[in-house]
C-alpha cells in the first residue's frame, strides 16, 4: 500500500485522523462532509451508530467560524461537549440548565471566535437575544440533529422545531445539514418541506441493522417471558427493557433484581440525580439492565447493548426502530424482542381516544398504531416489513423469528365470520358494551356469571367457536385488528366493526391468519 503524502489527502481526511483518530470514513460520510464543506445543504438519513456526528463536526472544523448544532438532547450536551473538548475541539453549549454566568461565558467565547462548535437547544432560538448573538458571530454551518422532530407526521414531533425554518430565512448563505436516524418517506418529505431544504442533497443510507435479530412474541406473562429470555440467551449482558408506564418500570426492575439480575429503573418520575446515576452506571458497568420508559436512550452511545426488550407495544414503527436500534451498535449479534398482546391494543386505543390535540392528530396516532400492529402480525420476514416501512426493499433476512420459524397460515375466514357476527349481535343490545373477553367467552360457550347475566348463552353464536382455544381466539382478534377488519374503542376496549368488516361477513373477503408458534400458544394458554 502506498503511503499517502499528507498534501494528497483532503482536509476532511486529515481532520478525521488528526482530531478524531480514525483512519477512514465510513459509508457516505466523506461525500456528505465534502458536500457541506463546499457550502451545500444536506439531508442525512442514517441509522443509529452510522456516524452522523462527524458529518457536521468535521465541516465545522474545516470551514471557518462556528458550527451551530441544534439538538433536543439537553441532558447529553454536557457529555458531548466534554468528549469533544477531550479531543481538543473547542465546543460549548447553551441551554436552560445553565445559569446566567455560564451562559455569558459561552456567549463571550462564541463572539471572540473561540468556539468550533456550539450546541443549542431549539427553544433557545425563540429568544431574540440568542438570534442577535448569532448575528454577531461567524457561523460556519447549522446542523439540525434529530431532524424528524420537525415532522408532525413523525413519532416525536417537537413544536420548537417548527421555528427552524427561520434559520434559512435569516442566514440564507449558511449551509445546513439535517440529520435523523428514523424517517419514513412521509417524514422525510415533511422534513424537507418544513426546513425548506428542497435544494439540498439527500443522503439516505440503508436502514438495515443486520446484526439485530427481530422477534415478536405473544404476551402471556411478560416478566417471566423476559426472565426466560435473559437467562437463556443474555446472561450477564447489558440491555434495555422498555415499559410504557413508570409503575411497570419499577415493578419489572424489582422483579429482575429479585431474580438475581443487575437492573435499575429509569423514568421521568425519578429525580434528576438518580436518573443521572443510573444512566452513568449503564454506560460504565458491564452487564447492567436498565428498565425504562422511552425517556431513556436517545443519543446514548453504548456500543455493547446486547438486547432491547419491549414489554409493551411501541406506539409506532418509527419508535420501535429507534428503540431497538440502540442494540448492537458495535455490530455484534443482538436481540430485539417484543412481547405484545390484545391488552396493549386496547390500552393504546384508549390513550389515542383520550389524547389532546385535534382529529388529525388522533388519526396520525391511529395510523402509527395500525402499522405497528401489522408488523406484529405479519407472516413475512420482520426485517423486510420494517425496511419496507422506511421505503427500502430487501430480501428475507433468515435471522428474524418469522424467517427462523415461519408461522403457518390458516384460512381464518370462518372464524372471523363467527367473531364478527358475535360483535354484531352484541351491538344490538343497547347501552351495553363488551370487550374481547366476553366475546371469546360466548364463542367458547362458557357460562360465566357475566354471560348468564346478559343471557348471552341464549345467542345463536354461543359455543360456535369451541374449535379454537382461548389463546387462538385472542390471536384472531389481534389479527382482525391488525388487518383493519375490527376496531376497538372506549375505556373498556369495546370491539366494534369497521367499514370493511362487512366484506368478511358477506363472504366477499378471505382472511388468512398467522398460526401462533406452538410454544407461545402454550404459554398463553397456561395463563388463561
Ligand atoms: P450516530 O449519531 O449516527 O448514531 P455517532 O456519530 O454517534 O453515530 O457514531 C457512532 C460511533 O461510531 C461513535 O463511537 C463514533 O465515534 C464512531 N465512528 C463514526 N465514524 C467513524 C469512522 N469513520 N471510523 C471509526 N469510527 C467512527
Ligand atoms: Zn427475516
Tens digits of residue pLDDT in 309-330: 999 999 999 999 999 999 999 9
pLDDT for position 428: 66
pLDDT for position 296: 81
Half-sphere exposure of 495 (CA within 13 A, CB side): 27
The whole-angstrom separation of Cα 427 and Cα 134 is: 62
Answer yes or no: is pLDDT of 106 > 50: yes
Contact between 337 and 309 under an 8 Å Cβ cutoff? The reply is yes
Kindly state if the Cβ of 301 falls inside 6 Å of ligand 1: yes
The whole-angstrom separation of Cα 100 and Cα 117 is: 20
Relative orientation angle of helices 382-389 and 359-377, to the nearest 10 degrees? 150
Kindly state if the Cβ of 71 falls inside 6 Å of ligand 1: no
Better pLDDT: 249 or 425: 249
| All cell numbers assigned to 104 | 455569558
The whole-angstrom separation of Cα 49 and Cα 305 is: 12
Contact between 297 and 275 under an 8 Å Cβ cutoff? The reply is no
- Confidence band of 508 (pLDDT split at 50, 70, 90): very high
Kindly state if the Cβ of 51 falls inside 6 Å of ligand 1: yes
Percent with pLDDT over 90 in the chain: 71
- Ligand at minimal distance from the CA of 51 is 1
Kindly state if the Cβ of 79 falls inside 6 Å of ligand 1: no
Half-sphere exposure of 201 (CA within 13 A, CB side): 13
Which atom belonging to ligand 1 lies closest to the Cα atom of 52? Answer: 3
Which atom belonging to ligand 1 lies closest to the Cα atom of 46? Answer: 3
Contact between 266 and 279 under an 8 Å Cβ cutoff? The reply is yes
pLDDT, tens digit (0-9, with 9 covering 90-100), for 298-307 = 767 789 999 9
Answer yes or no: is pLDDT of 114 > 90: yes
Better pLDDT: 432 or 84: 84
For the segment 46-57, the average pLDDT, to the nearest whole number, is: 93
Q: Which of these, 240, 418, 422, lies nearest to 314 by C-alpha position?
A: 240
Kindly state if the Cβ of 50 falls inside 6 Å of ligand 1: yes
Kindly state if the Cβ of 49 falls inside 6 Å of ligand 1: yes
Distance of CA 112 to the CA centre of its chain: 40
pLDDT for position 525: 40
Answer yes or no: is pLDDT of 524 > 50: no
Burial 457-492 (b: 16+ CB within 10 A, else e): eebebbebbeebbbbbbbbbbbbbbbbebbbbeeee
Q: Worst-scoring range by mean pLDDT, 122-126, 255-259, 521-525?
A: 521-525
The whole-angstrom separation of Cα 200 and Cα 347 is: 41
What is the chain's mean pLDDT, rounded? Answer: 91
Q: Worst-scoring range by mean pLDDT, 201-205, 260-264, 408-412?
A: 408-412
For the segment 209-230, the average pLDDT, to the nearest whole number, is: 96
Whole-number Å distance, alpha carbon 513 to ligand 2 midpoint, is 18
* 5 three-class SS: coil
pLDDT for position 172: 94
pLDDT, tens digit (0-9, with 9 covering 90-100), for 344-376 = 998 898 888 888 888 888 888 888 998 999 999
- Confidence band of 144 (pLDDT split at 50, 70, 90): very high
Relative orientation angle of helices 470-482 and 413-427, to the nearest 10 degrees? 80
For 383-427, list the strands marked E by DSSP: 409-411
pLDDT for position 254: 98
440564507: which residue's cell? 172
Whole-number Å distance, alpha carbon 483 to ligand 2 midpoint, is 21
The pair phi, psi for residue 242, each rounded to 5°, is: -100, 130
Percent with pLDDT over 70 in the chain: 95
Instruction: Please give the order of strands across the beta sheet that includes 307-310.
Output: 212-218, 334-340, 307-310, 239-242, 289-292, 263-266
Query: DSSP readout, 327-374?
Result: S-TTSS-EEEEEEE-HHHHHHHHHHHHT-SS-HHHHHHHHHHHHHHHH
pLDDT for position 360: 83
3-state helix, strand, coil in the chain (%, to 5): 45, 15, 40
Whole-number Å distance, alpha carbon 66 to ligand 1 midpoint, is 21
pLDDT for position 294: 77
The whole-angstrom separation of Cα 435 and Cα 486 is: 12
pTM of the full structure: 0.85
For ligand 1, atom 16: residue with the closest CA: 51
pLDDT for position 518: 57
Helix or strand (DSSP H, E) at 11: helix 11-18
Whole-number Å distance, alpha carbon 331 to ligand 1 midpoint, is 12
Kindly state if the Cβ of 22 falls inside 6 Å of ligand 1: yes
Q: What is the ipTM of this complex?
A: 0.98
Answer yes or no: is pLDDT of 481 > 80: yes
For the segment 45-54, the average pLDDT, to the nearest whole number, is: 91
Kindly state if the Cβ of 84 falls inside 6 Å of ligand 1: no
Query: DSSP readout, 208-271?
Result: --TTEEEEEEE-SSHHHHHHHHHHHH-TT--EEEE-SSHHHHHHHHHHHHHTT--EEEE-TTS-
- Confidence band of 5 (pLDDT split at 50, 70, 90): low
Amino acid at each position: 500500500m502506498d503511503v499517502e503524502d499528507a498534501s494528497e489527502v483532503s482536509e476532511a481526511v486529515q481532520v478525521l485522523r488528526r482530531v478524531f483518530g480514525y483512519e477512514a470514513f465510513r459509508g457516505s460520510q466523506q461525500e456528505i462532509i465534502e458536500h457541506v464543506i463546499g457550502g451545500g445543504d444536506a439531508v442525512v438519513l442514517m441509522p443509529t451508530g452510522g456516524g452522523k456526528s462527524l458529518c457536521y463536526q468535521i465541516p465545522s472544523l474545516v470551514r471557518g467560524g462556528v458550527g451551530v448544532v441544534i439538538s433536543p438532547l439537553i441532558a447529553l450536551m454536557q457529555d458531548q461537549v466534554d468528549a469533544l473538548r477531550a479531543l481538543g475541539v473547542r465546543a460549548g453549549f447553551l441551554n436552560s440548565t445553565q445559569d446566567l454566568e455560564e451562559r455569558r461565558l459561552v456567549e463571550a467565547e462564541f463572539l471572540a471566535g473561540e468556539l468550533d462548535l456550539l450546541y443549542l437547544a431549539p427553544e433557545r432560538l425563540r429568544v431574540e437575544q440568542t438570534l442577535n448573538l448569532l448575528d454577531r458571530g461567524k457561523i460556519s454551518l447549522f446542523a439540525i440533529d434529530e431532524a424528524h422532530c420537525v415532522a408532525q407526521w413523525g413519532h416525536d414531533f417537537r413544536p420548537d422545531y417548527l421555528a427552524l425554518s427561520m434559520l434559512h430565512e435569516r442566514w440564507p448563505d449558511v449551509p445546513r445539514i439535517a440529520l435523523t436516524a428514523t424517517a419514513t418517506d412521509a417524514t422525510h418529505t415533511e422534513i424537507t418541506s418544513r426546513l425548506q431544504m428542497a435544494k439540498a442533497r439527500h443522503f439516505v443510507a440503508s436502514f438495515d441493522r443486520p446484526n439485530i435479530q427481530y422477534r415478536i412474541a405473544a404476551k402471556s406473562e411478560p416478566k417471566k417471558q423476559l426472565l426466560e429470555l435473559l437467562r437463556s440467551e443474555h446472561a450477564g449482558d447489558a440491555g434495555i427493557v422498555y415499559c410504557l408506564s413508570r409503575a411497570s418500570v419499577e415493578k419489572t426492575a424489582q422483579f429482575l433484581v429479585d431474580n438475581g439480575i443487575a437492573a435499575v429503573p429509569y423514568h421521568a418520575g425519578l429525580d434528576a440525580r438518580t436518573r443521572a446515576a443510573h444512566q452513568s452506571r449503564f454506560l460504565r458497568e458491564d452487564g447492567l439492565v436498565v428498565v425504562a420508559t422511552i425517556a431513556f436512550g436517545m443519543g446514548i452511545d453504548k456500543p455493547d447493548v446486547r438486547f432491547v426488550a419491549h414489554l409493551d407495544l411501541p406506539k409506532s414503527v418509527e419508535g420501535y426502530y429507534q428503540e431497538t436500534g440502540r442494540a448492537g451498535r458495535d455490530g455484534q449479534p443482538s436481540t430485539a424482542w417484543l412481547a405484545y398482546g390484545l391488552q396493549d391494543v386496547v390500552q393504546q386505543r384508549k390513550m389515542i381516544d383520550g389524547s389532546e390535540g385535534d382529529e388529525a392528530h388522533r388519526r396520525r396516532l391511529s395510523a402509527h398504531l395500525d402499522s405497528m400492529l401489522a408488523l406484529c402480525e405479519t407472516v413475512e420476514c420482520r426485517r423486510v416489513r420494517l425496511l419496507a416501512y422506511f421505503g427500502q426493499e430487501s430480501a428475507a433476512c433468515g435471522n428474524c423469528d418469522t424467517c427462523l420459524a415461519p408461522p403457518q397460515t390458516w384460512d381464518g375466514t370462518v372464524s372471523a365470520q363467527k367473531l364478527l357476527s358475535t360483535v354484531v349481535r352484541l351491538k344490538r343490545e343497547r347501552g351495553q358494551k363488551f370487550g374481547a373477553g366476553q366475546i371469546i367467552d360466548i364463542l367458547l360457550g362458557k357460562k360465566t356469571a357475566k354471560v348468564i347475566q346478559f343471557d348471552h348463552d341464549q345467542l345463536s353464536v354461543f359455543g360456535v367457536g369451541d374449535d379454537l382455544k382461548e389463546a387462538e381466539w385472542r390471536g384472531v382478534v389481534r389479527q382482525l385488528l391488525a388487518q383493519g377488519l375490527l376496531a376497538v374503542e372506549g375505556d373498556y376496549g369495546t370491539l366494534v366493526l369497521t367499514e370493511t368488516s362487512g366484506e368478511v361477513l358477506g363472504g366477499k373477503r378471505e382472511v388468512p391468519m398467522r398460526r401462533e408458534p406452538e410454544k407461545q400458544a402454550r404459554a398463553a394458554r397456561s395463563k388463561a
